A = this chain, B = another copy of it.
Amino acid sequence: MTNDTRTDDRRSDDTTAERSGLSRRGLFGLVGAGVVGGAVGFGIDRVITPEASASGAAAVYPFYGEHQAGIVTPAQDRLHFAAFDVGAIGREELAELLADWSYAANRMTAGLGAGEFGAASGPYDSPPDDTGEALDLPPAGLTITFGFGPTLFDDRFGLASKRPAALIDLPHFPGDALVDGLVGGDLCIQACSDDPQVAVHAIRNLSRIAFGRASLRWSQLGFGRTSSTTRAQATPRNLFGFKDGTANLRAEDTAKVDSQVWVADDGGWMAGGSYLVSRKIRMTIETWDRASLREQERVVGRTKGEGAPLSGGTEFTEPDFALAGRGDAPLIDEAAHVRLAHPGSNGGAAMLRRGYNFVDGNDELGRLNAGLFFICFQSDPREQFVPIQLKLARNDAMNEYLRHVGSGIFAVPAGASAGRPIGAGLFD
């Protein structure tokens, strides 16, 4: 009988105890309904907790932890973000999907294949349990971060009572030009890595595992992170050519991170989690590129080269919004982005921004379809993203050069641990 132990284990649908690999449905996703045979393999789950290393291709961030990785983790250079619609499954199958995803994410962030056998071994007459394009690649700092959209808490899964008050439906913001197919989602996955092939590999394999249970609603690739999340990182530039995220929250600001990023422990299932808001913001870069250097700096409120506030100093000098120049006009315009977005203008509210630049080819008029895929994390979007964005949407001089076309809000639960997949608190 010992030879059959593994097959027996695979048939177990227990989603809360230590996992023995992908669920039967997860394996169905890999091979197609009706094809699963006894020869399909599975893995014994184990706690994969490599040491987090400094940076570069060798960087490894453990999937298990108090908080999910990919939030205060030093921002990697590449993004593949995906939103999913859950199909016609029930509550138990949803829990199973999250357990399968946690199992595979725990492996992939450690540089392993999504399944036990990997892309190039295992039963020869079954599809490999990993797609293979990352076979020779180190994880390059891969993080996989899961979130739950408001629609997950409708009546399909019996989760209505679990919907956190902070997981609001985002209001309409002035000027919004949202495109149906780029909004919402029951689930989201943010995959970040310094190698785009590694991030793509993660989303692809998680999509594959979800086959028949959840399908891609929209997805976005990004590059050139637009915010630093630690002090060691230089401030990158967005596609307006300006440094972006100079005043961002950093991992080192632990008190602020605790109050502004992580959800406090009130006994609820979101303790230790955070809320993610994403906005796909198309930049009308051809118009921006026609604006004078003076206009560009007025709009941003900082110098283009150094990124110093127009009130003087260097990049990290605190802006002096009261300082006036010629004709008593403030040196930093009343409508400048830096003024309106500043915590001082928003009752101290800040967010951890973690966005990426994107270029999705060009439109039919020959204009680059380019901009910023904005991502932010916060403890309560009602106090942070929403009021700040309302103010920006009404007054920001930058609006002339922006169009918000995509939007999402997701509850990002605390980290997983061995035997306790992402979102297990939903089902307690």
Q: Which among A45-53, A333-341, A354-362 touches the partner chain?
A: A354-362
Instruction: Judge whether B131 and A362 touch: CB under 8 Å.
Output: no
Q: Which among A161-169, A286-294, A318-326, A392-400 touches the partner chain?
A: A286-294
Instruction: Judge whether A128 and B221 touch: CB under 8 Å.
Output: no
For residue A227, CB closer than 8 A to chain B, the reply is: no
Q: Which of A120-167 contact B (CB under 8 A)?
A: 120-128, 130-136
Instruction: Judge whether A125 and B292 touch: CB under 8 Å.
Output: yes
Instruction: Judge whether A289 and B215 touch: CB under 8 Å.
Output: no
For residue A296, CB closer than 8 A to chain B, the reply is: yes
Instruction: Judge whether B362 and A133 touch: CB under 8 Å.
Output: no
Q: Which among A235-243, A247-255, A375-383 touches the partner chain?
A: A235-243
Q: Which among A9-17, A103-111, A196-204, A417-425 touches the partner chain?
A: A196-204
Instruction: Judge whether A293 and B237 touch: CB under 8 Å.
Output: no
Q: Which among A92-100, A258-266, A270-278, A363-371 touches the partner chain?
A: A363-371
For A132, A134, A291, the residue with the greatest tally of chain B CB atoms inside 10 Å of its CB is A132
Contacts A133-B239, A133-B357, A361-B360 given: A197-B219 contact, CB under 8 Å? no
Instruction: Judge whether A304 and B207 touch: CB under 8 Å.
Output: no
For residue A234, CB closer than 8 A to chain B, the reply is: yes
Task: Report the minimal beta-carbon distance from A286 to chain B, rounded to whole angstroms.
Answer: 8
- Measured in the bound complex, the distance between the Cα atoms of B286 and A195 in whole Å is 22
- Measured in the bound complex, the distance between the Cα atoms of B293 and A58 in whole Å is 29
For residue A217, CB closer than 8 A to chain B, the reply is: yes
Q: CB-defined interface of A281-313 with B at 8 Å, one 1/0 digit per residue?
A: 000011001111110100000011110000000
User: In the complex, which residues of chain B have a beta carbon less than 8 angstroms from the beta carbon of A207?
Assistant: 366, 368
For residue A224, CB closer than 8 A to chain B, the reply is: yes
Task: Report the minimal beta-carbon distance from A104 to chain B, rounded to whole angstroms.
Answer: 14
Instruction: Judge whether B241 and A126 touch: CB under 8 Å.
Output: no
User: In the complex, which residues of chain B have a beta carbon less than 8 angstroms from the beta carbon of A389?
Assistant: none
Number of contacting residues on A, CB 8 A? 75
Q: Please give me the residue from chain B that is nearest to A215 by CB atom.
A: B366
User: In the complex, which residues of chain B have a beta carbon less than 8 angstroms from the beta carbon of A215?
Assistant: 365-366
For residue A75, CB closer than 8 A to chain B, the reply is: no
- A224's partner among B133, B285, B370 (CB-CB below 8 A) is B133
- Measured in the bound complex, the distance between the Cα atoms of B123 and A125 in whole Å is 67
- Measured in the bound complex, the distance between the Cα atoms of B30 and A224 in whole Å is 24
For residue A174, CB closer than 8 A to chain B, the reply is: no
Task: Report the minimal beta-carbon distance from A184 to chain B, rounded to whole angstroms.
Answer: 14
User: In the complex, which residues of chain B have a beta carbon less than 8 angstroms from the beta carbon of A361?
Assistant: 218-221, 360
User: In the complex, which residues of chain B have a beta carbon less than 8 angstroms from the beta carbon of A135?
Assistant: 237, 241, 304-305
Instruction: Judge whether B219 and A128 touch: CB under 8 Å.
Output: no
- Measured in the bound complex, the distance between the Cα atoms of B127 and A20 in whole Å is 60
For residue A183, CB closer than 8 A to chain B, the reply is: no
Instruction: Judge whether A204 and B133 touch: CB under 8 Å.
Output: no
- Measured in the bound complex, the distance between the Cα atoms of B291 and A124 in whole Å is 10
User: In the complex, which residues of chain B have a beta carbon less than 8 angstroms from the beta carbon of A126?
Assistant: 292-293
For residue A404, CB closer than 8 A to chain B, the reply is: no
Q: Please give me the residue from chain B that is nearest to A121 by CB atom.
A: B305
Q: Please give me the residue from chain B that is nearest to A182 by CB atom.
A: B361
Q: Which of A27-47 contact B (CB under 8 A)?
A: 30-32, 35
Task: Report the minimal beta-carbon distance from A349 to chain B, rounded to whole angstroms.
Answer: 28
- A196's partner among B80, B224, B368 (CB-CB below 8 A) is B224
For residue A387, CB closer than 8 A to chain B, the reply is: no
Task: Report the minimal beta-carbon distance from A354 to chain B, rounded to whole angstroms.
Answer: 17
16 A-B residue pairings within 8 Å (CB atoms): A78-B196, A78-B223, A80-B359, A119-B241, A128-B293, A128-B296, A131-B239, A133-B224, A135-B241, A200-B223, A200-B357, A200-B359, A207-B366, A211-B286, A219-B361, A360-B361
19 new A-B pairs (CB below 8 Å) besides A123-B293, A124-B292, A218-B362? A35-B290, A78-B196, A119-B241, A120-B303, A125-B294, A128-B293, A130-B241, A132-B240, A132-B241, A135-B305, A196-B196, A196-B224, A204-B239, A204-B285, A208-B289, A215-B365, A216-B367, A218-B361, A360-B361
